[in-house]
Amino acid sequence: MDFLAGLYPPEVYCMVYYPNVCHVCKTVDKNLKRCSKCKSLNYCSKIHQQIDWPIHKHLCRVITSTNKIIGNRKKENINFDDIRQIQSLCAILWEEQLGRKLDRFEQNMLQFPRICAVCYTDNVEINCEACLNASYCSKEHQEVHKKLHEKYCAQLKLCMDLDIKYLDYCIDQDAEKLFEDRNPWMLGCDRTFCIPENIKHFPMDLKGVLNYFNIQDSSLDSMKCVFKLDTVAAASLLMYCLELYSLVKERSFMKSKLIIHIVGADYTEVSFYWDLIVQFCMKWLKNITELKFYVIGPEVKPNTYKCDLSSVEFLGDLYHNVIDRIDKPDIVVSFNNGIHEFCGSDTDMWHESIKRLLEYANVPLVLTAYTMQEIEKDVAIVTNVTNGKIVMGPEENPFRSLRPIRNHDDQSVPVFYKNGYFAILYI
């Protein structure tokens, strides 16, 4: 075996952590060897361990010393809450010793350790062979966990496959190129849409939108579908909501100009495939002659993107500071902002902006969240502050992202999705 063939460079392979694959090449091997000191990373060969050692050695010392401290605090019968507390304490100790914030890879090491899914011991002997994302100390515990795990096994496998596939694309890309064109599967799409004239109503779910892509390679596997549909998932939800609210009838908007406010935006919204989103919306809405998005959030870098009859204006501010100086919206949306998380705290930046989310009568507000619990809390806060009424939801979003995300906060629901749940409000 050529252990050096097709290797990811360190800056690429350290973007992703999964406990049961080789850390360097991400291959699956039943004979993986763990780092004997920290026991946190796996390698398929001595060569790959040696390649990673210059990068890993500092963190290895930190993990090893932290394990000694934490080991004295572990109870014999620990529960999931205990594990979360241990992880939080480890994060503090790691950052103190590293002298910096943890990067995503290091956070994932803490959040998704190789421990038994039932009793949380790190003395594990068995991995789920199908997804490699669940481990057990015994056959008995694997059987105990079987019913729950079967619900999510395929989703966990897809999550890992997508993350690793993304690394293949990253090898030959520089940072600027990645920002401009992050989706490897869009290389098989001519970046236009074909929507037949006789189609009058928006599809009922995201998979129905796939028919409107002009695809060069029609033999799509599940990973290709997920990547392609992610490019227009958020825009699809907005088109769907406009039709639900009767602002769009048979693909015609009530005016020739459509204004959309995206509130609480961050890097996620900034890095949308805006050229595709604009094309998609203009293709679907047959009568509009101007389309304008305002992307608003304190972390947003001010900028303007223009495309033919459309524009996307990025505003680095809080919504209540800009709403009076920008065009009145036809629809407002807040994607996955967890408005409830900071309510009443010293870090709450939403307090004044919530009051303005339903500023205009008959302008719908769309809220999305990762989980049902989150969307219910966000809706409760907004309705209490604004006296807004619920048009639809909260419920599962048929246009949620199809790309699963590992969930370290809830052992009973190990994956969630961007925009997983939604609600529509108005006054």
Q: Is residue 236 a part of any domain in this protein?
A: yes
Q: Is residue 89 a part of any domain in this protein?
A: yes
Mean pLDDT on 369-398: 94
Residues 219 and 297 placed together within one structural domain of the fold: yes
Tokens read off for 199: 């189609």
Asked which of 148, 170, 192 is the last residue of a domain, the reply is 170
Q: Is residue 177 a part of any domain in this protein?
A: no
In tens, the pLDDT along 23-67 reads 999 988 778 899 999 989 999 999 999 999 999 999 999 999 998
Residues 153 and 212 placed together within one structural domain of the fold: no
Residues 21 and 156 placed together within one structural domain of the fold: yes
Residues 123 and 244 placed together within one structural domain of the fold: no
Residues 255 and 390 placed together within one structural domain of the fold: yes
Mean pLDDT on 63-83: 79
Q: Is residue 381 a part of any domain in this protein?
A: yes
User: Residue 213: which pLDDT band, with cuts at 50, 70 and 90?
Assistant: confident
Q: Assign 3-state DSSP to the chain and report helix, strand, coil percentages, each to 5.
A: 40, 15, 40
In tens, the pLDDT along 272-327 reads 889 889 989 999 999 999 999 999 999 999 999 887 789 999 999 999 999 999 99
Q: Is residue 116 a part of any domain in this protein?
A: yes
Residue 273 near residue 246 (C-beta atoms within 8 A): no
DSSP per residue over 6-48, as a string?
A: TPPPHHHHTT---TTS-TTT----TT-EE-TTT---EESSHHH
Residues 163 and 281 placed together within one structural domain of the fold: no
Q: Is residue 97 a part of any domain in this protein?
A: yes
In tens, the pLDDT along 242-251 reads 999 999 999 9
In tens, the pLDDT along 119-161 reads 999 889 899 999 999 999 999 999 999 999 999 999 999 999 9
Q: Is the pLDDT of residue 191 over 70?
A: no
In tens, the pLDDT along 304-314 reads 988 778 999 99
Q: Is residue 192 a part of any domain in this protein?
A: no
| E strand spans, 87-235 | 126-127, 135-136, 189-193, 213-215
Q: Is the pLDDT of residue 411 over 50?
A: yes
Supply the pLDDT for residue 358: 96
Residues 82 and 209 placed together within one structural domain of the fold: no
Q: Is the pLDDT of residue 344 over 90?
A: no
Residues 39 and 142 placed together within one structural domain of the fold: yes
Average per-residue pLDDT for the chain: 88
Residues 105 and 244 placed together within one structural domain of the fold: no
User: Long-range CB contacts (< 8 A, 24+ apart) of 209-218?
Assistant: 209/236, 209/399, 212/280, 212/283, 213/189, 214/189, 214/190, 215/188, 215/189, 216/188, 216/189, 216/190, 217/188
2 vs 21 pLDDT, higher one: 21
User: Residue 192: which pLDDT band, with cuts at 50, 70 and 90?
Assistant: low
Residues 307 and 369 placed together within one structural domain of the fold: yes
Number of domains in the chain: 2
Residues 274 and 328 placed together within one structural domain of the fold: yes
Q: Is the pTM of this model over 0.75?
A: yes
* CATH, residue 240: 3.40.50
* Residue type, position 110, single letter: L
Supply the pLDDT for residue 243: 95
To the nearest 10 degrees (0 to 180), the angle between helices 46-71 and 80-98 is 110
Supply the pLDDT for residue 74: 57
Residue 365 near residue 333 (C-beta atoms within 8 A): yes
Residues 291 and 334 placed together within one structural domain of the fold: yes
- The parent domain of residue 252 ranges over 203-426
Q: Is residue 156 a part of any domain in this protein?
A: yes
